[in-house]
Amino acid sequence: MPLGAADRSIGILHTLLGNFDEAELSFRTGLAVEHGMRSRPFVARSELALARMYSARSGPGDHAKALAVAQAVAREADNLGMAGVRREAGALIAQAD
């Protein structure tokens, strides 16, 4: 089963290690690949991971970025019927409120 760009997994690892700048770069690289593949489900999963990273980093503007990305992911997950991703995005949105 395809998992999307490996960069998403690398970004998640960097997030867990607190290497937030490297995480953001990995997510952005992975998103570019997934957009190129025209894989909306992979993009939604990577954007959800990016929103989580913003939430964990908690730098200036990160709260707003996490909320905006999570809201976009929730809409896309609804469109794609991705209930699990929708639930996780909803939890991030609730946490941000």
The domains of the chain, with CATH numbers, are: 6-96 (1.25.40.10)
| pLDDT for res 96 | 80
43-64 b/e (C-beta count within 10 Å ≥ 16 → b):
bbbbbbbbbbbbbebeeeebee
Distances, alpha carbon 7 to alpha carbons 24, 74, 83, in Å: 10, 22, 23
Q: Is the pLDDT of residue 1 over 50?
A: no
pLDDT in tens, 11-29: 999 999 999 999 999 999 9
Considering the entire predicted model, what is its pTM? Answer: 0.94
